[in-house]
Amino acid sequence: MLVGICDFPALYAFPPKGYAGIERWLWAAAVGARRSGAVVHLIGEQWRPELATDWPIQRARLEDLSGPQLARLRSAGYDLLIAWHEYPARSAWRDVWRSLDCDVAAFQHGSNMQHPAGTFDGVGSRLYCYSPEMMALYADQHPRAELAVHQGLNEEEPPARDGQHLVWVGRVDAVKAPHLAVMAAERLGLRIRIAGPVFDTAYLERHRRLFSAAHVELVGEVGGAAKTAEFHQGRVFVYTCARDYVEAGAAVFGEALRAGTPVAALAWRPGTCAEAALCADTGRVAHVDPDASDDQAATALTAAIEQAATLRAAAVQEVGMMRFDPVRHFNVLALRST
């Protein structure tokens, strides 16, 4: 099987060196495809240059191809393209893809985009969604249920160990609501490390008292082995989000579980990514009414953290490695019929 993994115009390289989600999913798909025995081409302009010694890279995007370049791509005989969820809806990209006579698979990493009718048919063009909530949002695109796998370069997980502190990883802004994790840590008397870039300085300022507390460490953006270490060294990974935020891709669940770190997650509604990713062997979900106060949410999250902390790191990692395995994930993406 010949597989093309397509990058897209982004702020980050592929795979990214720090924060980013879809870019990491595309790299995990490439790794899974190669390990499954497929021949893999990286297609696009932003694949990291150091990959070129080991990976074939076509440094052009489909929508920019014409003439001899397009003819060469057509003659390659691709079986499957794996792409950013927005690309199949773009007419220029779609026209070139159709001329290649191959399948396309995309993962819906955003909850606020509506694709034109008929973008995905569920057979030759397939859209995958993480949670029941996301499946319902994109029901008209014939979605398939699947947990996304995300991976970075040089982010191999060491054997699990039981850590001591709490960890929260993501972009620091209001929709991710890390202040709720800080409040829960305060109730438990535990240290918490907040790792990720600050996207919303006004939000950080509003919660200055919480984020400047002695039990909080603002680590900043991390990548590669340092990012893996943040997950690996935590006793519990704490997931939070704002009441009206719909999590679409949820890289952090797989990253935490593969590191052997149990998860305590906040959920404001049923059918969220937290419920899809977790089970009794890997974490706990704090179900909270969206009308609840921050104090009430933090209290519920505190109980979930205490329960998650009783889980064995090695057992969590064993499940995480199976559930978020790049090879298993690629084989799902490559399967034409369900």
pLDDT tens, residue by residue, 191-200: 999 999 999 9
- For 264, list phi and psi in degrees, rounded to 5: -115, 120
Interatomic CA distance for residues 317 and 308, integer angstroms? 13
In a shared domain, residues 186 and 70: no
In a shared domain, residues 149 and 179: no
Q: Are 184 and 209 in contact (CB under 8 A)?
A: no
Measured at the alpha carbon of residue 323, what is the angle toward residues 319 and 325, in degrees to the nearest 5? 110
In a shared domain, residues 204 and 57: no
In a shared domain, residues 9 and 146: yes
In a domain, 96, yes or no: yes
Q: Are 246 and 176 in contact (CB under 8 A)?
A: no
Report the CATH number that the domain containing residue 189 is assigned in CATH.
Answer: 3.40.50.2000
pLDDT in tens, the chain (338 residues): 999 999 999 988 999 988 778 999 999 999 999 999 999 999 999 999 999 999 999 999 999 998 898 999 999 999 999 999 999 999 999 999 999 999 999 999 999 989 999 999 999 999 999 999 999 999 999 999 999 999 999 888 999 998 889 999 999 999 999 999 999 999 999 999 999 999 999 999 999 999 999 999 999 998 888 989 999 999 999 999 999 999 998 899 999 999 999 999 999 999 999 999 999 999 999 999 999 999 999 999 999 999 999 999 999 999 999 999 999 999 999 998 75
In a shared domain, residues 7 and 142: yes
Report the CATH number that the domain containing residue 144 is assigned in CATH.
Answer: 3.40.50
In a shared domain, residues 98 and 212: no
Can you give the pTM of this predicted structure? Answer: 0.95
Q: Are 150 and 28 in contact (CB under 8 A)?
A: yes
Beta-carbon contacts of residue 54 (< 8 Å; ≥ 6 apart): none
In a shared domain, residues 121 and 186: no
Domain of residue 315, residue span? 165-321
In a domain, 50, yes or no: yes
In a shared domain, residues 187 and 215: yes
In angstroms, the Cα distances linking 178 to 4, 226, 326 are 37, 20, 28
In a domain, 117, yes or no: yes
In a shared domain, residues 314 and 329: no
Phi-psi region of 77 (alpha: psi -120 to 50; beta: other; left: phi over 0): left
CA-only gyration radius of the chain, Å: 20
- For 287, list phi and psi in degrees, rounded to 5: -85, 120
In a shared domain, residues 103 and 227: no
- Helices and strands in the chain: count of H runs, count of E runs: 13, 13
pLDDT of the residue at 214 = 97
The SS3 assignment for 26 reads: helix
In a domain, 267, yes or no: yes
Q: Are 127 and 104 in contact (CB under 8 A)?
A: no
Interatomic CA distance for residues 315 and 262, integer angstroms? 9
Interatomic CA distance for residues 30 and 336, integer angstroms? 18
In a domain, 158, yes or no: no
Show the tokens assigned to 302: 């505190």
Interatomic CA distance for residues 296 and 12, integer angstroms? 37
Q: Are 152 and 16 in contact (CB under 8 A)?
A: yes
In a shared domain, residues 57 and 139: yes
* Beta-bridge partners for 237: 167, 263
Interatomic CA distance for residues 211 and 151, integer angstroms? 28
* Beta-bridge partners for 107: 84, 128
In a shared domain, residues 143 and 268: no
Interatomic CA distance for residues 126 and 120, integer angstroms? 6
pLDDT of the residue at 225 = 87
* Beta-bridge partners for 17: none
The total number of structural domains in the chain stands at 2
